[in-house]
A = this chain, B = another copy of it.
Amino acid sequence: MVKAADRAKNPARSSVWLEKRAARAGGGPAGLDRDRIVAASIRMLDEEGLAKFSMRRLAAELNVTAMSLYWYVDTKDDIIEFALDALYGEIDLAAVDAAGGWQGRIRALALAFRRMLVRHAWASPCAGSYLNIGPNAIAVGTKIQEAIRDTGLPLHGLPGAMSAVFQFVYGYGTLESQFGRRAAEAGMSQDDFFTEAVSAFRDDPEFAVQVADMKEILDERVSHGSVSDIWERDFAYALDILIAGIEVMAARTE
């Protein structure tokens, strides 16, 4: 029974997870349920994207009216925050433990995180602007901390190292997933889309000099294979750099 009046007491709550109230039971005639709402949301977000996702459409999917959802949830943002945390749950932490050494665990975590972002193109805009303090996000964060802690870096370097690796993964996953999303929306393959995007400045005489500089890199890129091969290769190389860098910094302070 948290109605508007109660909600108004907490006007700028910055995350659902800071709300202490428990989830609604949900044995009503419509068979609604917070978990069902979140699951349906993820399905719709995956299929139609963040832009088309609306309370009315979600409600229709669940054979219910929009306002029914508000019994289980305070705002649309809360649904998205729940959905986002559920995505963190897709990351298989047991598999991470199976990898050997902190290097292996960091690689495994980075890859799983990146794959999650790419699989759900709506996730990275959300992850970027919410707090990510749900239980699944925290669990992933803890695993990350454990891995970073084992690098042998000094205490004051641990947060920086965590950022170096996982803010990179977030950025990379964002780039990759949004590129894929826009290509799909334009009805093109990623390869065609890449060609079109490059054409924006390749054809512009003002950028002729710059293009000459880039040409070598672009050519190497194209000759290497498809865009999706490139995503893999560059990601792997970046991780190599990061791990090498951590090893060096750890050795320096021994």
A residues lining the B interface (CB < 8 Å): 12, 14-15, 17-18, 124-125, 128-129, 131, 133, 135, 138-139, 142, 145-146, 149, 155-161, 163-164, 166-172, 174-175, 178, 181-182, 185-187, 193, 196-197, 199-201, 206-207, 210, 213-214, 216-217, 220-221, 224, 230, 233-249
Contacts and interface: CB of A to CB of B under 8 A. Distances in A.
Contacts of A133: 197, 200-201
Q: How many copies of this chain does the complex contain?
A: 2
A199 B224 CA distance: 48
Nearest to A187: B12
A220 B164 contact: no
Contact of A160 (B129, B200, B237): B237
A23 to B, nearest CB: 15
Nearest to A160: B237
A178 B200 CA distance: 30
B238 A248 contact: no
Given A12-B185, A14-B196, A133-B201, 5 more contacts: A124-B128, A125-B128, A159-B221, A166-B171, A167-B170
Contacts of A171: 163, 166-171, 174
